[in-house]
Structures are given as structure tokens and as C-alpha cells.
Amino acid sequence: MARPKKSSVLDFRILFLAVFILASLFAIGVRLWFVQVRMADFYRGRIQSSSEVTVRIPSIRGEIRDRNGIPLVTNRPSYEVDFYLPDLVSGYKKQYGQPPMVEFRAKDANGMLHDRKEADIVQIVDQTIIPRLEELKVAEPYNSQRLRTHYRNNTLVPFTYREDLDFATFSKFAEKDLGLPGVQVNVRPVRKYLYNALGAHLLGYVGTARDINKLADIKDFNFYEPDVQGKTNVEFYLDDALRGKPGKRILKKNAKNQLEGEKEIIQPTPGANVYLTIDARIQYITERALRAVGRAAAVVIDPNNGQILAMGSVPSYDPNKFIPAISARDWAALKDADADPLTNRAISAYAPGSTYKIATSLAGLTRGLAKAVFTCNGGVTYGNTYMRCWIQAEHGGTHGPQTLTEAIKNSCDAFFYQYGNAAGIDAIDAVGKSLGLGEASGIELTNEASGILPSPEWLRTTHNGRWSQGQTANSSIGQGYVLATPLQMAMIAATVANGGTSYQPSLVYQIQEPDGTSVRRPGKIRGDLTKMNHLTPDQIEIVRKGMWRVVNDSGTGARAKVPGVMVAGKTGTAQAWTDGKKDDNAWFIAFAPYDHPKLALAVIVQGGKAGGEVAAPIAAKIIEESLALEHGYDPDLKPLDPGIGNFKSVDRVDFKNSSVPAQFASTDDETTDDTSVDEETKHSKTSRPEIAEPDIRPDADNHRVAPRTEPTPEKRRSFFDFFRRKPNNDSQGQQPPQQQQKKHHFLFF
């Protein structure tokens, strides 16, 4: 009876096992159907996405042109070799196993230091990428610290190994199949400043964003190539208009994780074109004239609307040097140069000297001093200080009784000491404010100085001082605490030229969208002397007549005469010091033609002996050639090399050879205004404005000094390796020899 019972139990177990196997096979079949049929589209998409890489294509910046449509800034192609660092690391893992690691110390969000580990990207590149590039003879040294920092902070951004390749080298890269994971040859547009240094202080330069992780669309791409951004001046202020919309590249990967080329590309949309008020020809004329000296600036304005026709500053620089990146050595040399070529002197503040007497003249007219006569006996005493006129300091003489037009013509300091005090500092400040002094104009340029329009309240709050008649006298001749920019002084000349309308200076003429639509920016009026300060046209004409006499009636600016053109102007020479050494500023402001002004300008020369001998001839050269453009004159516009700075004292400027058409084709001059200056001012060093850093390319290092040993590929395992004893020192495949070396330690903040 026991045997049949045992047999029935065995039959039951076999039946149960059969049912279990059938049920399992059925479940497997259902699962296979679900995965292969029901979820086919889902997994097909995942397979496709894992074999693709999306790369953001930077937007293409719009062009910058002058008012006549002449291109000043465009784009050119730059061929480069990029490393997609996460792909390099994953490719290394697939081929060799565990990558070499490096320890480093970094701060967390709370500022605490912690020891961390990461893949040694430098070893990976040196072991797997550089040897192949050396075979092709296209390898170059690189900065290993820059590579480590980039891998640590910007893994989504490709590391640019080489950039701005010549076409022969690019062709060599393109023709050869590198067979390297994470290495791609790309082309991207970069800026090209067509006339080199011409207009550099206006146009500015570009660079990449500093904090990539804060960009809005960074999560939409596997790899992120950021847009270049404007860093200074027009490139900075018009960045939103100039910057277009990005595109996308979809790259294919093979089974070895190597990039095989493009599957699809969505082209970026260009940005808008910006038209400046600048006339490239007048800009060229202005900068060429300024190169007669070592440190200077000039601003040329249309007095009828406030549009800037030219703005030059020397020494200068070539912004092409920054494209695609400037070397660390070149940047340090440029930034630390004694003559300061990065500073735009046209919007920097200086003591304006006697050119400021025009503002003082207008202020006195608001107080009924049109017919006032003050006598120059060589100087005036205020308190315990005797303040001399320049004619006594230089020639031991006097000007005698002076009317306002005579005082402007002779630039008589003694007259304006008395005239300014008769008007009062409040009137001077009121007119100065209407003219835009003491505040930034808001021009589309970076680092514009506001200057100083001193007042009793200003002195009390900033220096805890008490205002005096001597300080009013100093301010009346543009010395003491007074500071103004060449742009502000040019706007004063423009306001007098047009009869009293003070415009807001403008640099942008119009913006043209990619679809061809244009938006023009109208001129803005900041003030009207006839309304705000109740000056009559006849009163303003008194000042205009005085400026005419400066140039045309044996005045201090006789060297500003232009054949066939009636020029009106005002000279000035202001005391200044650089690093404790006397370094006076020579000024000249002017407008022309007198009856129907088309140009107003200001010129400053640092280290100039006298405005009439140094700045006035430069202004005359600019006026002569600029007005001659209407008569067929061709200045032969072409690229300019950077203006070279120097600290030579300039006694006189001469332009002997004139190429202006024939039909359009020595005198007393005030020298430094004699005023009291404290020792602290004499020895103070002019502070430089903060300069935005461009893209800086660190110098290559010599980190690859040790003999290189090639990594050993990981041995593929068979099924029977499971039953073999694993080595104690390797659970993930054979390690490259370099991992036997000492660990590297780095400290990053």
C-alpha cells in the first residue's frame, strides 16, 4: 500500500512543476509581449536618445554699423577642437575600467572645506587623446589646471582644446577619423572688428558668461555652448538686441560611445543689427588726428540733435586681440600698461580749465552781468591768497579792463574770478546742471564718469568744508574741485552753438531687426537754457561772439583757424598731476561753421603745455577734414593699428601736410591757470575704472614631463571567469599603470 502512495505524491510534484514551468513561460511570454510590442515605442525612443547628444549652438550676434551702414563689427568662423569631458570619462571606463582618480579640497555651500574625489581628467586626456593627436601632428600643449577647473565646474560645457585653427589644420582634423570618444571638431562664429583699433573704446568687446549654471536653458541640452556676451560699451549695452536665438545640433553616437557626426541641425537666429550715430569717416579722421600725441581724447557732436559723430581716445587697443580669447600674458600687459590704453578718456573726468569759463559766462548772464566790466591787474586776492592771472604768471603783464567777450577771447583769469563771484556759486551750479555737468549722461558706454559740479553743500557733505569766495573763483575757471569729461564739454559747445538747447548725447541711431524692420531712436532734449535759466538768444550770442573772437580776433585759439570755415572755440589749460609729477591737460572746445553749426567738439591732451598750441590744432584738423567730406574729400578709411601711449610733454602740434581739397582747404595763448593746489592733490594717483575681464587663455604648462605609459585595455571576461578566484587588488578589470602612482592633491577655493 506504501508504494502507490509514494507514486501519487511523485506524480503530484511533477504535475506541480509542470504547471509552474508553464505558468512561468506564460508570464515570460506576456512580459516579452509587453516589452517588445506594447512598450516598443517607449524603448525605441530611449535607445534613440541614448545614442544621441544634443548640443546647444550659440546665437549669432548682429552686426554693428555706422550711421551710413558701413559695417564696423561682423562675425567670422572660428574652427576649434572641443572635448566633451563626460564622454571622455565614460569612454575611458568602457575601454579600461575604473578611471584614475584625484583628490582635491573644495568649499561647500557653507564655506566649509571638504576632501573630495573625481576622475583625473588630465591623466585621461594625456593617456587616451593626446597620443592620437600627436600621431596626426596636431597636438599642442594645454593648461592642465584650466582643464581640471573646467571639468569641476562646467561639465556640460565642452572644453575648448584648440581654437582659431587655420584652415589647413582644420582640414587635417576633418579628414582624419580621430576615433576618439568625446572629441569633436566644431565651427562657431566669433566677433571680427573690421577696422582693428578704430572705435575700440566705443564698440567694446565680448566674452562668455561667467556663471554657466545660472543660465535659463542649460537643462535643455546634453552639452551647452553658451552665447558670447557683451562685456563693455556698445557690445554690453546693446547685448539684448545684438544677441540672437540659439540653435541645436543633434550628434550621433556609436556603440563605442564615439561621436560620429551630425544627425540634425537647427540653425540659430541672428540678432539685430545696430546702427550707431558714429560716422566711420569722421571717427577715422578724429583718431588719426589724435595720434599726433600720446594721451588724448576727442568727441565730435552734431549740435542740432546731440548725436555723437566721433569719439576717440589714445592710446587704444585692438579688440580683435580678445577674439576668441586673449592670452593671460597679453591681458596683463594691456591692463597694467602705464598709459592705460583700456580707459576711454573721452568719458573720464578731468579739470576742464578755462573751457569751463563758457559755463561761468552763461551763469553770469542769468544774473544780469552782460555789460559788466572787470579790471585785470594781474590777479585778485581772496582771504590770504593772491590768485594770479595767467598773463602775469607767464609775461608779468595785465589785461586791464575787460568785457565778457574780451575776457573769453583773452581767457582772462582775473576777470572770471570777479565775474564768478558776482554771479555766485548757486548760479554757476544751476547752469552747470542744465548743461549736464556733475552727472553721467547715460550714454551707452561703460565706466562713464559723472564729473564733479562742486557746491557749498557738496563741500560740506564730502569734505566737511566751508565754502569761500576763493573756491568760487577757482571753480569759475574750471579748477579746484571741478571735474568734467570731454563728452560733457563737447555738449556745452553744442548747446552754445545751437542757441541754448541742451541735448542728451546719443550713440545709437537705429536698431534693425532680422526681419528688416527698424526702430530709430529720436534725440532727447535734457534742457533749454532759454526756458530753464531764462537766457535770451541775444545773451547766448554774447558767449558765441566771445568764442568767435578766441579763434578769429587774435585770441588764444588762433591756431584753430580753418581756411574757408568760421570756427568758434575756447582754449583751456588745467593743472594736473600724474604720480606726483606735473602733467597738465590742454583743452579746446569749438563749433563750426559759426552761422550754421554742423559740428561741435572737445579735445583734451594730457601732458599738453597749452590748449591753443596743442589741442586747438587737433580740433582744426578734425573740423577741416570732417566738413570737407561734403565736398568730395575721401579720408581713405582703413583699419588702424592701436595708438601708442607715451608721457612726453607736448609743447606744440603741427599738421603741415593737408590733403583736403583746395576749395575747402603765432599768437598769445594762456598757459596753466594759476590756482592753489594742495600737496595731496599733487601726489594723488588717478584711479582707473574697473575693467570687465574678457575671455583669458592661460598659458600652457609642462605637466606632461614624466614618461607616458599607455593604459592597458580591460580584458573581456568569459562565462567561466565567474568560477575563478578574483584578484584581491582588482575587482573591476586591470588598472592602467598610472594608477600605481601617488595620488595628486589640489586645493581649490
Q: Is residue 430 part of a domain?
A: yes
C-alpha 582/C-alpha 498 separation (Å) is 36
**Cell output for 119:** 576622475
Say whether both 41 and 126 belong to one domain: no
Say whether both 710 and 591 belong to one domain: no
Q: Residue 520: is it exposed, middle or buried by C-beta count within 10 angstroms (0-12/13-18/19+)?
A: exposed
In order of 367, 468, 561, 744, the CA distances from 383 in angstroms are 24, 9, 41, 73
Residue 696's pLDDT is what? 87
Q: Is residue 690 part of a domain?
A: no
Residue 468's pLDDT is what? 93
Q: Is residue 537 part of a domain?
A: yes
Say whether both 609 and 629 belong to one domain: yes
Residue 676's pLDDT is what? 47
Say whether both 213 and 299 belong to one domain: no
Task: Read off the CATH number of the domain in which 68 is found.
Answer: 3.90.1310.10
Say whether both 432 and 556 belong to one domain: yes
Residue 27's pLDDT is what? 83
Q: Is residue 148 part of a domain?
A: yes
The sign one gets for the Cα dihedral 547, 553, 555, 558 is positive
Residue 744's pLDDT is what? 40
Q: How many domains does the chain have?
A: 3
Residue 168's pLDDT is what? 81
Residue 533's pLDDT is what? 87
Q: Is residue 223 part of a domain?
A: yes
In order of 330, 341, 442, the CA distances from 688 in angstroms are 19, 11, 19
C-alpha 160/C-alpha 83 separation (Å) is 6
Say whether both 360 and 390 belong to one domain: yes
Task: Read off the CATH number of the domain in which 564 is found.
Answer: 3.40.710.10
Q: Is residue 285 part of a domain?
A: yes
Say whether both 221 and 353 belong to one domain: no
Where the chain has pLDDT below 70, the residues are 1-7, 9-10, 40-50, 108-109, 111, 176-179, 210-217, 254-262, 657-687, 704-749
Say whether both 664 and 721 belong to one domain: no
Say whether both 85 and 219 belong to one domain: yes
Residue 730's pLDDT is what? 44
Indicate the pTM of the whole model.
0.83
Say whether both 561 and 633 belong to one domain: yes
Q: Which domain holds residue 197?
A: 53-276+706-747
Q: Is residue 695 part of a domain?
A: no
Residue 749's pLDDT is what? 27
Residue 684's pLDDT is what? 41
Residue 45's pLDDT is what? 53
Say whether both 354 and 428 belong to one domain: yes
Q: Is residue 686 part of a domain?
A: no
In order of 359, 381, 648, 676, the CA distances from 477 in angstroms are 9, 15, 26, 12
Which residues, other chains included, contact 389 with Cβ-Cβ below 8 Å and sequence gap of 6+? 376, 378, 379, 398, 399, 412, 413, 414, 674
| Tens of pLDDT, residues 267-276 | 888 999 999 9
Say whether both 212 and 268 belong to one domain: yes
Q: How is the chain split among helix, strand and coil, in percent rounded to 5?
A: 35, 20, 40
